[in-house]
Amino acid sequence: MTGRKRTKEQTNRVFGEEMIPCPKCGSWNLGYQSPIKTQIEATDSAEDVLKKYFSETKSGKTPLQGPVFIWCWECFHKGPALDCTGRTSEEVNSDREVARKVRSLWNEQQEKK
Cβ of 62: how many Cβ atoms within 10 Å? 20
Dist CA 75 CA 27 (whole Å): 8
Q: What is the pLDDT of residue 103?
A: 95
Tens of pLDDT along 41-94?
A: 999 999 999 998 888 888 888 888 889 999 999 999 999 999 998 899 999 989
For residues 72 and 79, give the distance between their C-alpha atoms in angstroms, rounded to a whole number.
Answer: 8
pTM of the prediction?
0.78
Cα–Cα dist 60/57, whole Å: 6
pLDDT score recorded for residue 111 = 57
DSSP secondary structure string for all residues of 42-89: TT--HHHHHHHHHHHHTTS--BBSS-BEEEETTT--B---B--TT-BH
| Per-residue pLDDT tens digits for 11-50 | 999 899 999 999 999 999 999 998 888 888 999 999 999 9
What is the phi-psi region of residue 76: left when phi exceeds 0, alpha when psi lies from -120 to 50, beta otherwise? left
